[in-house]
Structure 1
Amino acid sequence: MVKTKPGLKLRKIGSQYMIADACDGNVNMSSVYSLNQTAAQLWTQIEEGNSTPEGLADYLCEIYETNKDTALHDVERQLAEWKSYGLIC
């Protein structure tokens, strides 16, 4: 199961999506991560409890014309990147 790090918030500013550390009403701008729309959709799914790579890949297959193997590979790559940045656990 994948969970987002507590205190991180997904924000949409114009057409851009960003993850920022927001604690006590303040946003730490020293660590802001930019996301494309698909990554933002995955982030939202994780926040809503869809927290397995397989479930996230199924979600991508529902909204994009892709096969399960490709979707799972892309999800696993994105999760590994987020984990390396300390955004998920």
Structure 2
Amino acid sequence: MKLKENLQLRKVGRQYMVVDSCSGSVNLSKVFTLNETAAGLWQRMEGGECSVEELTDWMCGEYEVDRETARKDIERQLEVWKREGLVG
């Protein structure tokens, strides 16, 4: 799984937002808000391609959650991001 190019995660106050930045400007016509956990997943994926297993390992190390629950939550989040065109 890989993030679409030109997307940037920004923290504004206590909120995390994903915005499309192209040609040095930011397109605010479609902004996605993320909670802290989703932002953590996003940050893990910023380094390049990342597998569900790698994300599951991170989530289990970061939070008190069993592998099955973590994997299901991650797969659900990635499906939302796919539908919105944020990952491929």
Q: CA-to-partner distance for each residue in 1:5-58, whole Å, 9 max, x for gaps?
A: 000000001110000000111110001000000000000001124610111011
TM-score, structure 1 as length reference: 0.95
TM-score w.r.t. the length of structure 2 is: 0.96
Q: What is the root-mean-square deviation in Å for CA atoms of aligned residues?
A: 0.9
Contact residue 18 and residue 31 of structure 2 kept, 8 A? yes
Measure the CA separation in 2 of the matches of 1:30 and 1:87. 14
Could you tell me whether the CA contact under 8 Å between 2:19 and 2:30 is conserved in 1? yes
In the aligned structure 1, how far is the partner of 2:49 from the partner of 2:56? 10
Q: Give the match's secondary structure for 1:45.
A: helix
Aligned partner of 2:44 in structure 1 is: 45
Q: Identity, % of aligned pairs?
A: 49
Would the alpha carbon gap of residues 63 and 50 (structure 1) be closer, same or farther in structure 2, given more than 3 Å must change? farther
> Counterparts of 1:35 and 1:19 in 2: how far apart (Å)?
8
Q: CA deviation at 1:62?
A: 0.1
Gaps of 5+ in 1: none
Aligned equivalent of 2:65: 66
Residue 32 of structure 1: SS of its match in structure 2?
strand
Number of corresponding residues: 88
Gaps of at least 5 residues in structure 2 are none
Flag as ranges the 4+ runs of structure 1 deviating above 6 A: none
